Amino acid sequence: MPRQRPRPDRRTRDRRTRDRRPSARRVPLALSGAAAGIAALLTATTVAAHGLPGPVSDPQPAATAYVALGDSYSSGLGTRSYLDDGTDCQRSASAFPSQIAAAQGHALNFRACAGAVISDVRSAQLSALSGSTGLVTISVGGNDAGFADVLTECALPAWASDCHGAIDGAQAFIAGQLAAQLTGLYDEIRAAAPAARVVVVGYPRIFMGEDCNALTWFSPEEQTRLNQTADQLNAVLGQAASGAGFGFADPTAAFIGHAVCDDPEWINGLSTPINESYHPNVDGHVSGYTSVVSGATGTTVTASAAVRRTAAAQAEQLARQQRAYAAVDRTIRPPEFRAPDLDSPRVRAAAQRAGIDLDDRAGIDRADRVAARAQAQQQRR
């Protein structure tokens, strides 16, 4: 059996931000006590006589209207705690949009939804944008490339799967079709929110070369190609963002050393419930995405304990806000990663062809390693 690593105890460093208040304006000439009293009396008399409003404090600047668009990597699927908003969007107060809004005092409209593809963003999310929108973040493209289906295929033993064929299909889509679709979407975002700063959010590499999960069979070669596909996707996202005049938040460097099976890992491996698998966990959002994305907006923030408490306190307000969109959000159908099923007719047929006893785990793993090496050699030709 592959060795299991104990899950580390994660702690987030509490870096409390200091409350900075504007200093009061200084009056250049100090009045004596008597003169000050006379001046105050004259002012009050003048106000009363002419019906003028009394002194008012300086108005506070309006909160920036922030709209978070996109898929599960923005909604927070993987953090295991979600807003009760009447949908399956899996929005989390631990996700980076909530953390950034809490840290910077933005007014967040949390439209990102697990499973969203480009057409879903267009039909279900863009209506939240307006001329008053000041900040937009968006992660989309992974579902369009079929990542859930690719991971499902590659998780099977090599003798029962066509992982490299699935990767080839995703890479062909990214290279040939994705850029044009993104360009069209980004043009619509700019038209709907002409004054907004827009940041496109990329995807991390999921793997680190070792599969420590007992019920998946990702080979080192497959993991390398899957990471290369994430890099390819980020390159296309970054180029399209630049062409639209948008910023790009690339999480690749931040997540190195924190992939599935790393210590600590910021991305879930095979999980229960299954849809939590291969998504950033709380640490991935709080320690990874929040600083990367906020930095691309112009001000890097840290999700301190105080910020996390503020975000948690705003969860019910966000849930009430998003319930208004529940009908349209329910039209989004998330693709799901499916755990390997060695009892499926497909796998049983493959085992029979290869002469593998499905009751012999050591034999299953041995045959997987042989088939994975052969497929990798064929791929390199």
Q: Find the CATH number of the domain harbouring 105.
A: 3.40.50.1110
For the chain, the straight-line distance linking the first and the last C-alpha, in angstroms and rounded, comes to 32
Q: 247 and 351 share a domain?
A: no
**Which residues form the catalytic set?**
72, 279
Residues linked to residue 69 through DSSP beta bridges, in sequence order:
138
Question: Sign of torsion, CA 273 265 121 335?
Answer: negative
Q: Structurally, how many domains does the chain consist of? A: 2
Same domain, 105 and 161: yes
Q: Is 111 found in the same domain as 199? A: yes
Helices (H), 245-360: 252-255, 282-283, 290-297, 305-313, 315-323, 326-329, 345-354
Task: Assess whether pLDDT exceeds 70 at residue 146.
Answer: yes
Is position 368 within any domain?
yes
312 found inside a domain: yes
Asked if residue 162 and residue 266 are part of one domain, the reply reads yes
Q: Is 211 contained in some domain?
A: yes
Mean pLDDT, range 134-139, rounded to an integer = 98
**Residue 54 domain-assigned (yes or no):** no
More confident residue, 334 or 259: 259
Ramachandran assignment for 355, one of left (phi > 0), alpha (psi -120 to 50 degrees), beta (any other):
left
% of the chain residues with pLDDT over 70:
84
Q: Is the pLDDT of residue 22 over 80?
A: no
pLDDT at 218 over 90: yes
Among 1-15, 186-200, 350-364, the minimum mean pLDDT is found in 1-15
Question: Residue 213 pLDDT more than 80?
Answer: yes
8 A C-beta contact, residue 356 and residue 159: yes
Beta strands across the sheet bearing 65-70: 107-110, 65-70, 133-139, 197-201, 247-249
**What's the whole-model pTM score?**
0.83
Among 138, 84, 164, 88, which Cα is nearest to 336's?
Answer: 88
The reply to whether 187 and 307 lie within a common domain is: yes
- Looking at the domain assignment, is residue 26 inside a domain? no
Are both 368 and 223 inside the same structural domain? no
With a cut of 60, say whether residue 202 has pLDDT above it: yes
Pair (271, 303) in one structural domain: yes
8 A C-beta contact, residue 97 and residue 77: no
- Structure-block tokens of residue 134: 């000041």
CB atoms within 10 A of CB 2: 14
Q: Which residue has the higher pLDDT, 62 or 288?
A: 288
pLDDT at 322 over 50: yes
Q: What mean pLDDT do residues 67-96 have?
A: 98
Beta bridge partners of 66: 108, 135
Mean pLDDT of 248-271: 98
Torsion-angle region of 78 (φ positive above 0: left; ψ -120 to 50: alpha; else: beta): left
Same domain flag for 178 and 314: yes
Shared domain check, 315 and 183: yes
Q: Are residues 275 and 375 in the same domain?
A: no
Same domain assignment for residues 219 and 320 = yes
Tokens read off for 219: 């080979």
- Whether the per-residue pLDDT at 4 is higher than 50: the answer is no
Give the structural domain span for 204. 65-329
- Residue 101, both tokens: 């809004």
Residue type at position 62:
A
Residues 369 and 238 grouped into a single domain:
no
